[in-house]
Amino acid sequence: MPAPFNPQTQRPVSPKEKAAVRAERLRFLYWAAVALPLIVTVMLYGYTEQAPRWLYNLTVQVDAVFGQPVLWLIRLAIGAG
């Protein structure tokens, strides 16, 4: 009869599994480091007068969903906040 399952018992992790997990974490960190500043930059541009009207409308809607952090950042930068 097999021993009952004990969730505190850890199974050995192979070096290949460790490398795969490490690569997955690095991939996530890389994309977060690239995507987040890019998204904020596009949204900052969306608030300018040069942005097309559709981008302005989209920026306002997306910014409102997250509590207007981009608008807060703009106000902070110009000293109006």
| Residue 43: how many other CB atoms lie within 10 Å | 22
The pLDDT value recorded for residue 29 is 96
User: pLDDT class for 11, splitting at 50, 70, 90?
Assistant: confident
More confident residue, 4 or 29: 29
pLDDT tens-digit profile of 14-70? 899 999 999 999 999 999 999 999 998 999 999 999 999 999 999 999 999 999 999
pLDDT surpassing 80 at residue 7: no
The pLDDT value recorded for residue 80 is 73
Where do the domains of the chain lie?
23-78
